[in-house]
Amino acid sequence: MSKFLMTLMAALLASGFTTASQLDYPERDGRFLERDQEGWFWYEPVPEEPEPEDEVPAPKKPPEKEVETLAKPKAVEPAPSPSPAQQTQPAPPDAMSAEWFRANIKKYKDKAWENPTPENVSAFLYVQKMAMNRSAKFADVWKEVVTTDPVLDANSTAPTTTSGTLRMKAETKKARKELLGTVKEKVGLIFFYNSSQYSMEQARTLDAINELYGIDVLAVSTDGSPLPEGVLGEAVMDQGQSQVMGVKQVPATFIAFDDNTTRPIGVGMFARPLMEDRILMVAQMHGSISDEAYMATQNQLKKEDDLIGVIAPNAYANAEPETTDENGFIPPEQLMRIIRQELNK
């Protein structure tokens, strides 16, 4: 077992705990017999009750409303006149536009269903055909754009063919095995367990990782139960490390780094491939392995581009202010100019 794992556990125990007397019996000034006036020899005086404050004056009665009489009828308020915006009806959407289809295609269908005359049914079928033709045209252009733009083509990040997928999985598996074999010099695992079957099964999974890649595993028993024979070697008793590390449920697995820091990687049972991936992911987040080495273990040719992070900061600055609306809509030709400009930097 690596020396830094045992050193880390000893440091956690030394720095994270206090004695029982410190927790249950806080210090007080003076010895016991010197604090006789606190009530041991006689009762402490009862504090005097505060004198009642002056009575709060009753709130003033609001003035009564003016009574309507025959001699003085209540004045009638004039009705508010409608504003110009209320008087003007909104203009209908452009004929055969996307908004027009959204607003009317269901109306044509309902009318044909309620009164299936030849005119009603024909009108609905023609409206539906126009919408389907426009959708087919949209799909054709979609395919053309995706095929000719590497940023939008899914094949640029992961193969879609069966042969390409199988080859990538084989290469990924090889890279994962090599990286796990080299990261053992920088990381170790701390495994908290009890006598449950879930803990015993997880112990066997971690034992397989130890055998395959040489990653040290320190097993810590929270209830004194032993491990299955031949699994993970000799365990140590939990002396408070689980409380310091915030363990609320077992089995729990942590990854420990050679700089004496730890991070959780799983609570509960995990299959070996998932546990291996979490070891690499947390090690990459910590900086123990490079981004390029980690990406080689994933089923991707490259990482997806952060288009929002690239385009958003300068989108409005590069757009023509007079052409954007109240929702920040940028016309397509301007948006594509901005996108190409930012991606080519």
DSSP 267: E
Please give the C-alpha separations between residue 104 and each of 76, 88, 91, 135, in angstroms, as whole numbers. 44, 22, 15, 17
The DSSP code sequence of 45-85 is PPPPPPPPPPPPPPPPPPPPPPPP-SSSPPPPPPPPPPPHH
Which of 300, 226, 225, 286 has its CA nearest to residue 257?
286
In the chain, which stretches have pLDDT less than 70? 1-4, 6, 8-87
Collapsing DSSP to helix, strand or coil, 140 comes out as helix
Express each pLDDT in 11-30 by its tens digit.
666 665 443 334 443 455 55
The pLDDT of residue 21: 37
Largest Cα–Cα distance in the chain?
Answer: 107
Give me 66's structure tokens. 């003016």
The pLDDT of residue 36: 53
Express each pLDDT in 118-170 by its tens digit.
999 999 999 999 999 999 999 999 999 988 888 888 777 777 778 888 888 89
Q: Please give the share of the chain, as a percent, with pLDDT higher than 90.
A: 38
The pLDDT of residue 321: 85
